[in-house]
Structure 1
Amino acid sequence: MITVHHLEYSRSQRVLWLLEELGVPYELKTYKRNPKTKMAPPELKAIHPLGKSPVITDDGQVIAESGAIIEYILDRYDANNSLRPAHGTPEYLQYNYWLHYAEGSLMPPLLVALIFGQVQKAKLPFFVKPIVNGIVGKVRGAYLGPQIKLHYGFMEQELNKKPWFAGPNFTAADIQMSYPLEAGLSRGTAANEYPKIQDYVKRMKERPAWQRAEAKVGDFGTPM
């Protein structure tokens, strides 16, 4: 049986959701973040050397990284390809693109924005604070703001053409996309500018499998 090593407020919520969509039984082990550093506890390093989540164990295998975990689970447990379009179809090309886009293109600027936000909140000498705020402000204005706006505009445009990222049907690519979309909206992205993304996130959270996964660990909360 699959064991999901779930870290609160992390990407591992996607793995729980996927397993609930497929109806695959699993064991759940939950880990709490350090309340001061917000980092994963050292116990996760006993599972994988990087000590990060998501990570699953199954039949003696240790699998990390969201995309790799999703592909492993689909290969092994989704014989009917219910959450992945058939190879060679236009929908599969879209599925594969969004599966990789989520972490490869979308998450980096969101992660940098999170780090900069934490830097601004950190306790610093009064004479350093204006310098830090100035640097952060320039990076936000010149890079982060335009990049995030570019990505959200792109996704809004795509969702204006189709209900789900790979086409007319919900797929595992939507599960992969859920985390950065929620992260962006929770970090100040102007949600009212992107009604299709807002609707997408609403429909995502209305899925019974999402709700079952969240009920097992409590409120998914704000993505880190």
Structure 2
Amino acid sequence: MIKVHHLGISQSERIVWLCEELELPYELVKYDRDPETRLAPAAYKALHPSGMAPVIEDDGLVLGESGAIVDYIIARHGGGRLAVPAAAPNFPDYLYWYHFANGSLVASGMSLLVAGMLGATAEQLGLVGRRSDTAHQMLEARLGEVPYLAGADFTAADIMLVFGLTTMRVFVPRDLTPFPNIRAYLQRIGARPAYARAMAKGDPGFTPLLV
């Protein structure tokens, strides 16, 4: 059985959600953040050389990195469900938005977070923030065309991306009022029973930032 090591309020929510969507049996091990540093506790850092969430264990394998874990679970345990076959017309869309999640959206948000922690000036923060602005504008345009990132159907690209629009805002606040298509998309996500179950199990007491 897959063991999902979930760090509270973190990207590892993706893995809990994926297991719920695929209706896979899994063991959930939860860790609280250090109350002072807000970072992972020592026990979590010891799980994998990266010291970062997410981490899973499966039959002696210890695996990190969100994208690698999602691909592994879908291929090894999910029968390919929630991925898009290479022959499908929307395969390039699936690939692009799947990797856009961490490569553009989360990366730009984390750049803003680090710049703020380092005491960047307002001008410098504005420069750093342009990439995040562009990412949100691209998402707004995409979600004005299709209900889900890869097209008509929900896929793992959505599982990868939603963290960057929701829970990451705990650390990097952003007002989504100017983005009606993104807000409508998040309401569709919030209505998914598997998402609701995953968030309730992984972070009970935390209200998902779907608005």
TM-score greater than 0.5 by the shorter chain: yes
The aligned counterpart of 1:204 is 189
Deviations 1:34-91 (A, max 9, x none): 1111110111233212221100000111110000000000001121x33112212222
The aligned counterpart of 2:48 is 48
Instruction: Indicate the larger mover: 1-10 or 149-158.
Output: 149-158
> How far apart, in 2, do the equivalents of 1:21 and 1:13 lie?
12
Paired amino acid for 1:93: P
Assess if the C-alpha contact under 8 Å between 2:55 and 2:64 holds in 1.
yes
The aligned counterpart of 1:126 is none
Unaligned runs of 5+ in 2: none
Q: State how 1:122-161 maps to structure 2 within 5 Å.
A: 132=119, 135-141=120-126, 143-161=127-145
Shift in alpha-carbon separation, 1:9–1:221, aligned structure 2, 3 A? farther
Unaligned runs of 5+ in 1: 120-131
Assess if the C-alpha contact under 8 Å between 2:10 and 2:167 holds in 1.
no
> How far apart, in 2, do the equivalents of 1:145 and 1:46 lie?
33
What SS does the corresponding residue of 2:90 show, helix, strand or coil? Answer: helix
Paired amino acid for 1:182: T
Say which structure is richer in helix.
Answer: 1
What SS does the corresponding residue of 1:87 show, helix, strand or coil? Answer: coil
With the length of structure 1 as denominator, give the TM-score of the two structures: 0.86
Assess if the C-alpha contact under 8 Å between 2:106 and 2:164 holds in 1.
yes
Instruction: Indicate the larger mover: 37-46 or 11-20.
Output: 37-46
With the length of structure 2 as denominator, give the TM-score of the two structures: 0.91
Question: How much does 1:183 deviate?
Answer: 4.7
The aligned counterpart of 1:112 is 111
> How far apart, in 2, do the equivalents of 1:83 and 1:15 lie?
13
Question: How much does 1:191 deviate?
Answer: 1.1
> How far apart, in 2, do the equivalents of 1:12 and 1:185 lie?
15
> How far apart, in 1, do the equivalents of 2:149 and 2:161 lie?
9
What SS does the corresponding residue of 2:62 show, helix, strand or coil? Answer: strand
Shift in alpha-carbon separation, 1:116–1:40, aligned structure 2, 3 A? same
What SS does the corresponding residue of 2:177 show, helix, strand or coil? Answer: helix
Shift in alpha-carbon separation, 1:98–1:59, aligned structure 2, 3 A? same
Large movers: runs of 4+ above 3 Å: 116-119, 183-188, 219-223
